[in-house]
Structures are given as C-alpha cells and as structure tokens.
Amino acid sequence: MISYYIYLMIAIVDYGMGNLKSVQKGFLKSGVDVKVTNQPADILSAHGVVLPGVGAFKDCMANLDRGGLIGPILRAIESGKPFLGICLGLQALFTESVEFGRCPGLNVFKGKVVRFPATALKVPHMGWNIVRYKNRPPIFDGIDDNRYFYFVHSYYVAPEDPAITAGTTDYGVEFTSMIWKDNVIATQFHPEKSQNAGLEILKNFGAFTKRG
C-alpha cells in the first residue's frame, strides 16, 4: 500500500551545500514528512520542492549544474508545484549575483543579488529582524505582520518587478526579504531557525502542497 506521505512527498534539494538537516528537522517537527534528495527523478515526482542553502552563490549554481538538478528544478516550478526557496535558495531564483564576480542564476525572476552597502551596520546581517508584509503569501496565514525571523546573509535580492516582493526588512536599507508569485514562495530568512513562527510556515507549506 502506498503511504500518504509518499503520495504527498516534499523533496528538499540536496546539492552538497546548506543546512539540510536543520531544514529537514524543522519540517518533521512541524509534522510534515520530507525527503532530502539529490536525485532529479525525486524532484520531478515530488508534490512540493524546497531549495534551501547557505554559502556562496557561484558554488551553489555549480553544484546544481554538476548534479543535473537545474532542469528538474525549473520544470518543477513551471509545472506549478509548490516551491519554497530558503536563503541562498531565494537568491538562486534570480538572473544573476554579483558575489565574487557576476554569476548567472536560475533566472526564474529578473533581478540581481547584491551586497549590502557600506554602513555602520555589520555584514553579514546576522540575527533576528522584522519582516513587514507587502503581500502575504498563503503559507503565512495566521502569522502576524512585523514578526521577527532569523537571518544570516551578506547579499540580498533586488527584483526588477516589485510586485513579487511579499515582504521587506530594514538593515541599513529596506530590502526584499520574501517573494511570492503563483506557486513560488521564497524567504531570505531561515524559517527552520525562527522558532514557532518559522515552524508554522513549514507546517503551512505542507498544507499548501497538499492543496496544490
């Protein structure tokens, strides 16, 4: 007999970088079963896809390419599957990054990944900060505006289309800390490290996948 969780499998993309165990544990703690995988077939067959990540943009794209994962990720998004990007997984969705020289991204959304400008504030931006909604995604149902979430990053996305910005955060500049368009939701902050509010997001993504 095929189990409920296999039928509604959510794939966490493993490309050799990032806090995979932390993301997996966050989902499991939220009551959502997931599979960490580097297999293109799993991504294509999953009902929902999560692209996490920490580290350098160029290494991320090289590893995705080396693993044959770029095509399956793009096809998953194009097919309308619920998709969640986290931190570097948000940045990879854009046209290019200027980190350590220009590097092309997945180009799902037009825009660049840029470094925080020089201010008195320390870079990387690390710790708790407020997210203000511009357009609340469905997986944020029940989560109040101006909640604190946990960030660790030196670069942020600058979308060409402001309509995809779902939330912003202030850190010397007001930057896009969350995007949403159709089936794609992505956050610069780490839900899996953001205590109760973050775990609620992961739980809601599981429900969003079930509906999708």
Q: Over the stretch 24-40, which tens digit does the pLDDT of each residue have?
A: 999 999 999 999 999 99
- Bigger pLDDT: 21 vs 5: 21
Enumerate long-range contacts of 37-41, CB under 8 Å, 24 or more apart.
37/11, 37/12, 37/13, 38/13, 38/14, 38/67, 38/69, 40/67, 40/68, 40/69, 40/71, 40/72, 41/72
CA dihedral 80, 177, 144, 203 (to 10 degrees): 40
Residue whose structure tokens are 């942020």? 156
Domain ranges in the chain?
4-211
The pLDDT score that the predictor gives to residue 159 is: 98
pTM exceeds cut of 0.85: yes
Residue 10 has pLDDT above 50, yes or no: yes
Confidence of residue 8 (pLDDT cuts 50, 70, 90): low
pLDDT at 195: 96
pLDDT, residue 2, reads 33
Question: How much is the pLDDT for 91?
Answer: 98
Question: What amino acid positions are annotated as catalytic residues?
Answer: 87, 190, 192
Q: What is the mean pLDDT of residues 111-119?
A: 95
Whole-number Å distance between alpha carbons of 184 and 105: 16
Q: What is the Cα–Cα distance from 25 to 126, expressed in whole angstroms?
A: 21
CA distance 27 to 95: 29
pLDDT above 80 for 7: no
Residue type for position 50: V
* Mean predicted lDDT score pLDDT of the chain: 94
The arithmetic mean of pLDDT across residues 96-114, rounded, is: 96
Architecture of domain 4-211: 3-Layer(aba) Sandwich (3.40)
Supply the pLDDT for residue 210.
83
